Structure 1
């Protein structure tokens, strides 16, 4: 699937956001607003989303445009990996989400795992840093450019507990993986996490 339109839209949005951050000239500011609207129109033309909705998303972004950071934790027990079922789409994913301002990556992933699954863990290894946009991963199109950080985490304590975002919690073997929420994680990434669990000496993967 050709997703050049997504790359162009994201680049135009970044140019517009950076221009609005630093420009003082009112004519330039007007042009950057027009450029942002064009980026929203490009994305709307290739999705089922209204351009006004995308424009509002872009308008919330301020300062110099950089990729967002998504953290995901791989927790294993008896050769099985922890997954949570998302209420949003009814599919399964590794616990995780956006890294919050003020959190270190380690703190962020441990907090996300606890909030979404009820398990307390300790992040022990950065397994991978992936560019969500890279075609080799196969994530569906998304408005933002995202770096995904995957951590191998050691289970400490806790009991399965659902959250406002999750409706089921479970451990699954390598051949038992349920339907995944592909916007969050894809099968090849799950497979690679099993590889790192089986061989802790593997080096960190990165794009």
Structure 2
């Protein structure tokens, strides 16, 4: 039995507010939604890449992050526009604290929106859905 099932027995029928996860997604130039992110610069630690990319794409300053996992293998091989194939290692981070005013850079995306974990947009690739499922499994 999880805490949501146990809690009503403890509080009776009083109003109970449960916080869901909010996930920041960016509307990509191809019309699909995805997580903010980008490539490492030479010599750049992954945590710094998170801070730099989030700043570039959202104008937000990241203060506290947690590594959730690495993803690699045949299912993470992508073809680029120039037909090159790349085997990608993706590091997934949860951002717990940030500050600033969210502003999207039109050269990076067509918009930014927080979604609840229960109401994600339909036009999102399975890759991003996979990352979000991983994130949500860490929330339990």
TM-score after normalising by structure 2: 0.72
Equivalent-residue separation in structure 2 for 1:173 and 1:187 (angstroms): 13
Q: Which sections of structure 2, spanning at least 5 residues, go unmatched?
A: 1-18, 80-84
> Do the aligned partners of residues 109 and 101 (structure 1) sit closer, same or farther apart at CA in structure 2, a change above 3 Å counting?
same
> Counterpart of 1:188?
130
Structure 1 residue 100 corresponds to structure 2 residue 41: yes
Q: Deviations over 1:152-182 (max 9, x none)?
A: 1123212221111111111111121112145
> Counterpart of 1:129?
70
Q: Number of paired residues?
A: 115
Larger Rg: 1
Q: Which sections of structure 1, spanning at least 5 residues, go unmatched?
A: 1-76, 200-207
Matches within 5 A, 1:30-179: 79-87=21-29, 89-131=30-72, 133-134=74-75, 141-142=78-79, 143-163=85-105, 164-178=107-121, 179=123
> Do the aligned partners of residues 78 and 175 (structure 1) sit closer, same or farther apart at CA in structure 2, a change above 3 Å counting?
closer
* More contact order relative to length (CA 8 Å, sep ≥ 6): 2
TM-score after normalising by structure 1: 0.50
Equivalent-residue separation in structure 2 for 1:133 and 1:122 (angstroms): 33
> Do the aligned partners of residues 176 and 126 (structure 1) sit closer, same or farther apart at CA in structure 2, a change above 3 Å counting?
same
CA RMSD between the two structures: 2.1
Q: 4+ residue runs of structure 1 moved beyond 6 angstroms?
A: none
> Do the aligned partners of residues 177 and 116 (structure 1) sit closer, same or farther apart at CA in structure 2, a change above 3 Å counting?
same
